[in-house]
Amino acid sequence: MDRWIEEHLHKHWHAKLKVDRVIHEVNTDLQDLVIFENGDFGRVLMLDKIIQLTSKDEFVYHEMMAHVPLCAIDSPRKVLIVGGGDGGVMREALKHPSVEQVVLCEIDRGVIDLCRKYFPEVSNGAFDDPRSKVVIADGAKFVAETDSRFDAILVDSTDPIGPGKVLFSEQFYQHCKRCLNPGGVLVTQQGLPFLQPWEIKESVRVFRTLFRDATAYLPVTASYLGGHFALGWATDEPSLRKVPLEVLRERFGRLAGETNYYTPEMHSAAFVHPNYVVRLLETRG
């Protein structure tokens, strides 16, 4: 009999993925994890029955989380990734030649080990790059206590369920702001505006109490079913959201390696919202 795994992220809509072959299945100290093969999405990682990563479309999320903030900044040098144990965002951040260090703070060592074993193409050697530093710790605790400062903080978290819930709190965002260099950018995973409107609405509301400029930008990731995907954006430097296209093209040309989704044109277009998202972000309370 065929096996299907049902994703339980949304209250009124569940989606099923066919399991062609189970690669690994385990209950870690923090979450339930399964890795399997699927004919459409390739190799799939699910945590607590929620899709985190597929080998076929991972490039969309990882490129857009990394390159939008890092191409907006002129010569970023130090980057913090909270979560991101698969190494995909780190892989993309390291394509920027000005980057001197990428600190990856992941709460679950098991996620890193399993992704390095079963998804080696996602990190593509990033964990072995001399500019990379891995810290196994609670991300919220790390930003609350560290003395380090960063040009960009990229929160590659799970949804606000279980261990990822604290990474959507006002206190966490306050600590992230403290850890940013002047002109730095905070980018966060914010789910699907169509099906999870409260997620981006609440985060942007909090961002606007802390930062001079706050909004979201919208890539489309095939395996995150339900329309546009939102990445939150917060900074005290409003000009970073309006970098001229010719400047983005020049910075893009410096990258060490190719991209499959990100382009300077996609960068600019991602900040253009359909009206339902415009209204969502403008709504107060």
Cα 91 to Cα 62: distance, rounded to the nearest angstrom: 8
The residue assigned the tokens 């261990």 is 163
Active site residue 156: yes
SS3 14: coil
Q: Which residues of 83-114 are buried (b: 16+ CB within 10 A; e: fewer)?
A: bbbbbbbbbbbbbbeebebbbbbbbbebbbeb
Closest CA to 83 of 5, 165, 204, 7: 165
Instruction: Find how far residue 222's CA is from the centre of its chain.
Output: 15
| Residues 260 and 124 sit within 8 Å (Cβ to Cβ) | no
Question: In terms of DSSP H, where are the helices of 160-255?
Answer: 170-178, 197-210, 245-252
33: amino acid identity, one letter:
L
Catalytic residue among 48, 57, 129, 156: 156
Contact present, 90 and 102 (Cβ < 8 Å): yes
- CA atoms of 187 and 190, how far apart (whole Å): 9
Residues 145/175, Cβ–Cβ less than 8 Å: no
Active site amino acids: 156
